[in-house]
Amino acid sequence: LENSSEPAGAIRAIDKHSVHQICSGQVVLTLATAVKELVENSIDAGATNIDVKLKECGAEQVEVSDNGKGVEEANFEGLTLKHHTSKLRDFSDLIHVETFGFRGEALSSLCALSVVTCHESSQVGTKLVFDHKGHLVQRSPHPRQQGTTVSLQQLFSTLPVRHKEFQRNIKKEYAKMIHVLQSYCIISTGVRITCSNQNGQGKRSTVLSTSGSQSMRDSIGAIFGPKQLQSLLPFQQVSPTENIIEEYGLQDADLPKQLYSITGFVSRGDHGVGRSATDRQFFFINNRPCDPLKVTKVVNEVYHMYNRHQYPFVALNIAVASECVDVNVTPDKRQIFLQEEKLLLAILKTSLISMYEAGVNKISLNYTPLPKNTTVFFKDSVKPSTCSPSMKSPSKPARELTKASPVGRSVLDGFRYGSVSCADTDSEKDSAVSSCDVGVTMTTPEEVIDSSSVKNETFKEASEKSDTVPEDTDLETEAFISNQDTTVSPEAKRARKENPRFPAEQKSSTFSNSFEESSSIVDAPVCLQRRTVPLQFSFQELAGRMRRLREQQKQRAGEELQYRRFRAKINPGDNQSAEEELKKEISKDMFKEMEIIGQFNLGFIITKLNSDIFMIDQHATDEKYNFEMLQQHTVLQGQKLIVPQKLHLTAVSENVLIENIEIFQKNGFEFLVDEDAQVMERVKLVSLPTSKNWTFGPADIEELIFMLSDSPGVMCRPSRVRQMFASRACRKSVMIGTALSVSEMKKLVVHMGQIEHPWNCPHGRPTMRHLANLDIISQD
């Protein structure tokens, strides 16, 4: 009652329990974060053996056991209290922090947990139970070897909204947790890490396991198998080149030396050895897993210079002085600030380019100098000849056209009929453009002019000089465009004949003289033929049209505006927007309501829905329907192998395969599963799908596993199976050129409403486009 009298906007302190819940939700966001915090605590405690056990992929229980130092009795109370830690004393320790966890709030945020621990100085272990506030509520003796076991029940159960989302997306949460755990397996050399999961009352299955080797390479092989190791290159660090230093805007003289030391492995640049996604990229700074976005970008960009369609496997550890790095940036400590980050990027880029340039993906060519007497095809002194019609004899079609053309044809006619091939100088180009402009004003391609209305007017043009050259109209010669006197004055809008015709006998000598004495080339008197075309025009008719147009605009302004649902044009550049419009405006039920107008050009179905007219590609739409039916219902037949083949899949991949075994069987793959065998040997391939000329193998299995990791239980096909179905669907579909009855066209249109993605055929060609809206088209 006392609180009710306070103003609604009064400022007061939040109670400690609410503060604890708010802050906890900001630290532990996901299953991956919870497991990460517990594993980090185990590594910080000096453990050499860490065992992660999950129930229902972590939705029911998460348990992490280790053989570390354990927790001293004096620290039991502060184990889960906020801002309690054994790793820092004051703020200055943050600069040189080397342990993974240091804020003391992670265990507190997990709240509903129990701990069994035995310190190295204790004889008997102790079981500790904590409430949601992090207070110790129960303490009892419990037998245990040295180390600590932390058990979490019903993660996020105190946060209803997050708990519901967590349960709904548990498969994705589980996959992210495995990826984070893999990063600690790679970098924590000398530590044996295992992870297992139990669904329901079934058998516990191992997800991943390392041997505790001192080598990063061995840890990678234990997690991802020997096949992954075969494609890796050890990272070789080199100093940045001058070009790359300049690219990043660095000053060579001011760069610190030996600031960064980078070790690890990356994929070779050969096509086929990379990955289809960035699912195996791990970056560490001072052995701490992190997500350096700029570093990731540089590595992938350089790799794409050599293998543009894949992504590399990456495991790189960047060692840097602790005073040059800030790890206290985000609650999950995955984002890290670095001094001289551009220098790191420059080192990475130079080193990767150096590695890939020296790799096996380059073909070395042995250069052998040519003997002096060897024929050389290209010489420096040879230049391409200029393209002038006067320098070569004309081709036969050009001769015939020239011969058949009337005397005195203009340069424009030469362009029109192909007798002039090109111009060599700027002045000639200007002349040609001017001539073309004249042609455009004289004739209009869209108009058909009655020949009776055309008058031929003959003009004579006198030479500006007294020299004249005889003209022979019967000889087969080409027009020659001079590079002199080609300026067309604004007053004389007519094509000028620049070159007279020469007798064949005088051709070579005259041409040679024309090059030696270019000043002697003159304008010869020629006959020009001008066409005059009378055009009908009436100002009264124009005024009447304008009046009617204004009246229509007023009338439409008073009416309700029509909503244009389809704006995309029918061209390749608008394919995406056209498809989005169709998805938005056309539902599956509408295909049944479409009225068949007819067939166009024996390839397209014209349909009408209300006032909209659509055009449908009969082959593309039938192909897509057949393709989706094959995708959904085809069970591929398998071919038994003589000897079962070991796949050496990772533990995670084995589990994905076992959980989705029915989808693999529909794709024609059969496996022999031995759950008692060791990790990476539990699954053997016993049967492969076959179909005429198509063969499949382990690469298709890995692709399926990758797709099912993102969408568990969803029916999917490997890309090569989809290619095979697309080829089959194409062959069995209605072809262009086939005449269809109305019922056959209606059947194809109705089928479009029965498939998931009716807008494109399997090869990407559009199936349907909007043509017009009858309400918008003007009635005039």
For the stretch 104-137, pLDDT in tens is 344 555 556 788 999 888 888 999 887 777 778 8
What values do phi and psi take at 335, rounded to 5? Answer: -100, 135
Place 49 in a pLDDT band, splitting at 50, 70 and 90: very high
25, pLDDT greater than 70: no
What is the rounded average pLDDT of the residues 262-274? 89
Distance CA 22, CA 15 (A): 11
Q: Is the pLDDT of residue 334 over 80?
A: no
What pLDDT, on the 0 to 100 scale, is given for residue 233?
93
Question: Is the CB of residue 23 less than 8 Å from the CB of residue 109?
Answer: yes
Fill in the DSSP letter of residue 766: B
Q: Is the pLDDT of residue 429 over 90?
A: no
Find the mean pLDDT for residues 525-546: 81
CATH H-level superfamily of 574-779: MutL, C-terminal domain, dimerisation subdomain (3.30.1540.20)
Q: CATH second-level architecture of 231-357? A: 2-Layer Sandwich (3.30)
CB 217 within 8 A of CB 313: no
Statement: residue 531 has pLDDT above 50: yes
The CATH classification of domain 16-210, taken from the options 3.40.50.150, 3.40.50.1820, 3.40.640.10, 3.30.565.10: 3.30.565.10
Q: Give mean pLDDT, residues 199-208.
A: 84
pLDDT digits (tens, 9 = 90+) for 438-487: 333 343 444 444 544 555 555 544 444 444 444 444 434 343 344 444 44
The predicted pLDDT at position 709 comes to 78
pLDDT number for residue 407: 42
Residue 284 predicted with pLDDT over 90: yes
- CA dist., res. 464 & res. 522, Å (int): 8
| pLDDT of amino acid 194 | 93
Q: Do strands 147-153 and 288-290 pair parallel, antiparallel, or not at all (unpaired)?
A: unpaired
Top-ranked range on mean pLDDT: pick from 8-22, 109-123, 550-564: 109-123
- Which pLDDT does position 485 carry in this prediction? 42
Q: What is the mean pLDDT of residues 670-692?
A: 84
Q: Which amino acid is at 159?
A: L
Instruction: Express as a percent the part of the chain with pLDDT over 70.
Output: 68
Q: What is the pLDDT of residue 23?
A: 55
Q: How do beta strands 288-290 and 314-320 pair?
A: unpaired
Tell me the percentage of the chain whose pLDDT exceeds 90: 24
Closest CA to 616 of 454, 486, 425, 745: 745
Cite the residue boundaries of each domain of the chain with CATH code 3.30.230.10: 231-357
Q: Provide the residue type at 151 as one letter.
A: S
Tens of pLDDT along 155-181? 887 778 888 888 888 888 888 899 999
> Which of 302-316, 450-464, 545-559, 681-695 has the highest average model confidence (pLDDT)?
302-316
Supply the mean pLDDT for the chain: 74
Is the pLDDT confidence value at 102 over 80?
A: no
Total length of the chain: 780
In the chain, ranges of CATH 3.30.565.10 domains: 16-210
pLDDT band at 282 (very low <50, low <70, confident <90, very high): very high
- Hey, which of 327-331, 636-640, 692-696 has the most confident mean pLDDT? 636-640
SS3 245: helix
Of the listed ranges 325-329, 506-510, 635-639, the one predicted with least confidence: 506-510
Cβ(570)–Cβ(767) under 8 Å? no
State the pLDDT at residue 384: 43
According to the 3-state scheme, what is the secondary structure of 310-359? CECCEEEEEEECHHHEECCCCCCCCCCEECCHHHHHHHHHHHHHHHHHCC
Q: What are phi and psi of 553, to 5 degrees?
A: -65, -40
Average pLDDT rounded to a whole number, residues 194-198: 91
Local confidence band at 667 (pLDDT 50, 70, 90 cut-offs) = confident
What pLDDT score does 8 carry? 52
- Domain ranges in the chain with CATH number 3.30.1540.20: 574-779
d(CA 211, CA 218): 8
Q: Which pLDDT belongs to residue 654? A: 84
Higher pLDDT, 632 or 263: 263
Q: Beta partners for 647? A: none
Mean pLDDT: which of 209-213, 432-436, 557-561 is highest?
A: 209-213
Beta strand pairing call for 281-285 and 314-320: parallel
Q: Report the pLDDT averaged over residues 382-392.
A: 41
Residue 488: the pLDDT is: 41
pLDDT at residue number 671: 92
What is the number of H-type helices and E-type strands within the chain?
A: 23, 25
The per-residue pLDDT for range 757-780, each reduced to its tens digit, is 898 888 888 999 998 888 777 554
Confidence of residue 328 (pLDDT cuts 50, 70, 90): low
The radius of gyration of the chain from alpha carbons, rounded to an integer in Å, stands at 41
